[in-house]
Amino acid sequence: MGTTNTVLLVVLGVLALVFGVLVFTLNSMARVTFSLLAALVCVGGVTTVLGLPYLGVVIVLMMVMEMVVMAVFMIAYMMNPAGLMPMSMLHNKRGALVISGVVFAALVAGIFLVPWRDSAALQPRDTTFQVGRALMAEQMLTMVTLGFVLLATMVAATVLATHRGRYDRFGDDLDQRPAKDPAGGGVGR
Amino acid sequence: MTFELILVLAAGLFCTGLFGALSQQSIVMIMMGIELMIGGIIVAAADFWHFLAPGAPSGQVVIVAAVVAMAVEMAMGFAVTTAIYRARRVDMTDMAGDLKG
């Protein structure tokens, strides 16, 4: 690995950790969301520097869209969206710190105690081709499973987010009158 | 040594996210913690692929699966948040204690 790549990795790694910590220390919800976005963009950057440009760019693009959506939900559902009235949004802070500290210590111990062996394999010339071929050949079952998971997620998320469906309003045979809603909504009927 | 240091970065991201997921009261903030944890897994998978097995595509496939997990987690998390808020005006985990397993 060249010097430029090593410097890039160090800078992106430190920035990812700093922004990750800021996510749980800042008050303003907009800043929190964009800190998480910055941390995950650094993750995409690390992935790119490690030789996976396609996946790195996918992660960055996906995270930008995801965090923009998340900002809307953050401001809608948070107790103190603007950060103008500082308040604690934590519970069992000490317990959480202890658990995450112990897990970190165990992971670092494992990282330095395991005798990793050096790889003799060479990197493929085109890493995008490698992942594309794997997903369309030997890892096809993984890709099919991921596809079904995404479809199920779309259906389940829509079902959960929809207040009342067509059959709830009109019954299984569509012969009942709509229930009397306490509040108006929908298309105004 | 670079290999181990990147794994430490991955562990740091994972444990920062773990702290958030365990300590935050708001459901949306818990989701942010989980996103950060999955970010750590992505870094670790890229590291394993680069240094240990660049010839095998398995490391890349793990990253694809982790990215899908991120998308699924966000979509389902927001849907559940919306459903529970609509049903009971609850947006904090402490108020939804009866959802405990």
pLDDT for the residue numbered A189: 47
Residue A114 has pLDDT above 80, yes or no: yes
Q: Which of A116, A122, A158 sits opposite B55 (nearest CB)?
A: A122
pLDDT single digits (tens) B72-82: 999 998 888 88
Q: Which of A13, A99, A118 sits opposite B22 (nearest CB)?
A: A99
- Token digits of residue A134: 């794997």
Amino acid sitting at position B53: A
B83–chain A nearest CA distance, Å: 6
Contact criterion met (CB below 8 Å) for A101 and B15:
yes
pLDDT single digits (tens) A70-111: 888 877 776 666 666 666 677 888 999 999 999 999 999 999
Amino acid sitting at position B11: A
> What is the rounded end-to-end Cα distance, in angstroms, of chain B?
42
Residues in chain B closer than 8 A to A13 (CB atoms): 5-6, 9
Residue A150 has pLDDT above 70, yes or no: yes
Residues in chain B closer than 8 A to A119 (CB atoms): 51-55
C-alpha span between A51 and A58 (Å, rounded): 14
Say yes or no: A105 contacts chain B, CB-CB below 8 A: no
Q: Which of A77, A142, A158 to mutate to test binding with chain B, by most B CBs within 10 Å of its CB? A: A77
pLDDT for the residue numbered A88: 67
CB contact under 8 A, B71 and A21: no
Say yes or no: A104 contacts chain B, CB-CB below 8 A: yes
B80–chain A nearest CA distance, Å: 6
pLDDT single digits (tens) B5-59: 999 999 999 999 999 999 988 888 889 999 999 999 999 999 999 999 898 899 9
Residue A63 has pLDDT above 80, yes or no: yes
CB contact under 8 A, B81 and A73: yes
By CB atoms closer than 10 A (0-12, 13-18, 19+), residue A39 is: buried
Q: Which of B40, B45, B32, B51 is nearest to B15 (CA)?
A: B40
Q: Which of A149, A79, A86 is nearest to B95 (CA)?
A: A79
List Cα–Cα distances, B97 to A88, B92, B93, B101, in angstroms: 19, 10, 7, 9
Q: Is the pTM of this model over 0.90?
A: no
Cβ pairs bridging A and B (under 8 Å): 231
Contact criterion met (CB below 8 Å) for A23 and B19:
no
C-alpha span between A111 and B4 (Å, rounded): 6
Phi, psi of A167 (to 5 degrees): -80, -25
Q: Which residues of A150-182 are buried (b: 16+ CB within 10 A; e: fewer)?
A: eeebeeebeebeeeeeeeeeeeeeeeeeeeeee
- Mean pLDDT, chain A, rounded, equals 85
Question: Which is more confidently placed, A43 or A181?
Answer: A43
Q: DSSP states of chain B as a string?
A: -HHHHHHHHHHHHHHHHHHHHHHB-BHHHHHHHHHHHHHHHHHHHHHHHHHT-TTSTHHHHHHHHHHHHHHHHHHHHHHHHHHHHHHH---BGGGGGGG--
B62–chain A nearest CA distance, Å: 10
Residues in chain A closer than 8 A to B60 (CB atoms): 52, 55, 127, 130-131, 134
CB contact under 8 A, A13 and B47: no
C-alpha span between A172 and A63 (Å, rounded): 41
Contact criterion met (CB below 8 Å) for B8 and A108:
yes
Say yes or no: B1 contacts chain A, CB-CB below 8 A: no
Residue A167 has pLDDT above 60, yes or no: no
CB contact under 8 A, B76 and A157: yes
Residue A6 has pLDDT above 70, yes or no: yes
pLDDT single digits (tens) B61-72: 999 999 999 999
B43–chain A nearest CA distance, Å: 6
CB atoms within 10 A of CB B45: 24
